[in-house]
Amino acid sequence: MRFSKYFGMAFEALVLNKVRSALTMLGMIIGVFSVIVMIGMGQGSQAYITEQVRGLGAGVLIVTPGNPKTQKSFGPPGTTTAMTLTLNDARALESIPGISYVSPNAFIQAVLKVDKNAVGGMVLGTSPSLAVARGFKLRSGRFFNDQEARTGARVIVLGRKLAQDLFVNTLREPLGDKVRIEGQRFRVIGVLEEQGGGLFGSTDEQAIMPTRTFQSLLKGGERINSIFIKSGSDELLPVLQNQVSTILRQRHAIRPDEDSDFKIQTQSELLSTIGVVTSAFTILLAGIAAISLLVGGIGIMNIMLVSVTERTREIGIRKALGARHRDILAQFLLESATISLAGGTLGILLGLLATFSVARLVQLPFVFSSLAVCGAFVFSAAVGVFFGAYPANQAARLDPVDALRYE
């Protein structure tokens, strides 16, 4: 007996119970869907972070607070909670010869004011090159240039929502208008394109200014999130790393036998750290999603057991007409495999669609993982066979005399 005939039989039986088959399939669809989406989002955000770090260019060192031995950095630089780096640390590093810039990165929560209108927002200090690397897009106006960055010009670029909230009474773009932060006045030179909710917070509610300008908002001992140090090339990095370490250890008064309270990473080290963390995160999410796949499998087993009981007489007839143990086994196994494969395929398609749409919405790169797709396909087939095996075996073991008599 040929495979195509078994398959035809399986298909007929499934079409006969359309609603039941569809509902059983739904379990698989949801399971595979969530696995695909979780893996897709995980890989998408990994690609996003990688892209951003790569954008910094070659010869970059990243100093982040925290003891490298006792603490792992999750996510992008600057999101760790222990704040041991200060602005003065960054200033001290500027004296090292052979570096093009030291960029302290810091966020502060501040109240921005226009006349009597006050709005809370995140103020971020950065440099023009970093702005390019982070892929900020302008809606109107311009970004600050190198000269403004050097001189600490009192200019500011506003996120879209922040600009709207601050300048509620005007329809034109607020270029050239003044914004007050902690009593200081800044000139608006640009408004960012609306970005929607990003993975690490939206830029819509941020205000960006040159680091030097930003420093005027901070006191000398103010804590900062991270320091980017850029030198000419990657070859200088080991030497530079030592120099940075020596200066910072001195400033933090760390004895030679003590661990540092900061961490210096090169771009590639940071990338691999991020890789490890986001992979673990992706696997965790996919694992949780896989549980729903398991539930889908149990649904298949349940419905197949019902089906076997319902079709006891059919099994009796088939056996009387010459069906062997393996014929009945194959028939029912193929039925459950068809349900799970059809559900799995639909789940893959819907999952890819959802991943693609969400990636578009939050502006993450869409990563097509053929491994995840193939894995989900094979796994759903395996679920069908595994959870179909017990019911199919029950069917195949029925005694023909009893089965024929079954009412």
- Quote the least distance from Cβ 381 to other proteins, whole Å: 24
Instruction: Map residues 382-401 to x or -, x wherever contact with other proteins holds by CB under 8 A.
Output: ------------------xx
Do 329 and 395 contact (CB within 8 A), yes or no?
yes
320 binds other proteins (CB under 8 A): yes
Q: In terms of CB distance, is 326 or 360 closer to other proteins?
A: 326
Q: In terms of CB distance, is 72 or 325 closer to other proteins?
A: 325
Give the closest residue to 195 by CA, choosing from 161, 156, 164. 161
- Quote the least distance from Cβ 4 to other proteins, whole Å: 8
Rounded Cα gap, residues 358 and 367, in angstroms? 12
Of 288, 325, 353, 365, the residue at the interface with other proteins (CB under 8 A) is: 325
Mark the segment that binds other proteins (CB under 8 A) among 89-97, 247-255, 308-316, 351-359.
308-316
Structure tokens at 188: 């608006």
Of 314, 375, 381, 393, the residue at the interface with other proteins (CB under 8 A) is: 314
Rounded Cα gap, residues 67 and 71, in angstroms? 6
Q: In this structure, which amino acid lies at residue 268?
A: S
Place of tokens 């709005």: 119
Rounded Cα gap, residues 59 and 255, in angstroms? 29
- Quote the least distance from Cβ 12 to other proteins, whole Å: 7
> How many degrees, rounded to 5, is the angle at CA 352 between CA 348 and CA 356?
170
Q: In terms of CB distance, is 13 or 122 closer to other proteins?
A: 13
Q: What is the 3-state secondary structure (H, E, C) of 49-67?
A: HHHHHHCCCCCEEEEEECC
Of 51, 222, 404, 406, the residue at the interface with other proteins (CB under 8 A) is: 404
306 binds other proteins (CB under 8 A): no
Mark the segment that binds other proteins (CB under 8 A) among 139-147, 173-181, 236-244, 313-321.
313-321
Of 114, 163, 286, 323, the residue at the interface with other proteins (CB under 8 A) is: 323
Strand pairing partners for 64? 263
Of 92, 317, 354, 389, the residue at the interface with other proteins (CB under 8 A) is: 317
Q: Which residues are CB-neighbours of 351 under 8 A, at least 6 positions away?
A: 32, 33, 34, 35, 36, 37, 40, 376
Q: In terms of CB distance, is 224 or 328 closer to other proteins?
A: 328
316 binds other proteins (CB under 8 A): yes
* Percentages (nearest 5) of helix, strand, coil residues in the chain: 55, 15, 25
What part of residues 42-81 is at the interface with other proteins (CB under 8 A)? none
Instruction: Map residues 11-30 to x or -, x wherever contact with other proteins holds by CB under 8 A.
Output: -x---x--------------
Do 36 and 373 contact (CB within 8 A), yes or no?
yes
What part of residues 230-289 is at the interface with other proteins (CB under 8 A)? none
- Quote the least distance from Cβ 292 to other proteins, whole Å: 32
What part of residues 328-367 is at the interface with other proteins (CB under 8 A)? none
For the beta carbon of residue 174, count every other beta carbon within 10 angstroms. Answer: 18
Do 331 and 10 contact (CB within 8 A), yes or no?
yes
Q: What is the 3-state secondary structure (H, E, C) of 247-311?
A: HHHHHCCCCCCCCCCEEEEEHHHHHHHHHHHHHHHHHHHHHHHHHHHHHHHHHHHHHHHHHHHHC
Of 20, 134, 249, 313, the residue at the interface with other proteins (CB under 8 A) is: 313
Residues of this chain that bind other proteins (CB under 8 A):
1, 5, 12, 16, 313-314, 316-327, 400-401, 404
